[in-house]
Amino acid sequence: MRAGKSEKEEVKSGNEGARAVLLDNIRSAWNVGSILRTADGFGFGHAYLCGITPTPEVDAVRKTALGAEEYVTWSQHKDTVKLVTGLKLEGWKIAVLEEDQRAISISQFTDLQISNPVVLVLGSEVTGADPELLDLADHILYIPMRGQKRSFNVANAFSIAAYGMTRTKAKAKAS
């Protein structure tokens, strides 16, 4: 499923252990392109581009993705909460990357069940993830910070989390 899939068209999970990324209201086309490129590198099969998140139809997304949009399928959605609700019904686990009282450190991700397909959700750098998405989440994760700033750039945060998910999957297979 490539460009132009509408919100009404269903994206099937299909694969055990599959990974997808959901970008909700990410403003920067360059961040979106970077995330698509990183998603390809870490084996994420699909990107849900929600709200105002630009799609690969925007030149800056394509330029930064360097062709990754051809390998990571993507779909555009207006209503993120409706999409996530449907994904949960299809068996996807939802992991939201966000600073929240309920969040666990990304380093504890090894305790999560990864045999189910997982969608990693990232929200706006300014306003964070929608509180309704946090309520729907199976897991809320945060990246520990040592400096003075409270967050990483969204593309960098995705890279850290994607690496953590890949490392976790490898550990689970070795067990």
What's the whole-model pTM score? Answer: 0.85
pLDDT of amino acid 167: 66
pLDDT at 15: 52
> What is the pLDDT, as a whole number, of residue 173?
54
- pLDDT-flagged residues of the chain (< 70): 1-17, 109-115, 167-175
Residue spans per domain, the chain: 19-174
**pLDDT tens digits, residue range 96-143?**
999 888 898 888 765 455 667 999 999 998 888 999 999 999 999 998
CATH fit for domain 19-174, picks 3.30.70.360, 3.40.1280.10, 3.40.50.300, 1.10.760.10: 3.40.1280.10
For the residues of 70-103, what is the DSSP string, one character each? GTSEEEEES-HHHHHHHHHHTT-EEEEE---TT-
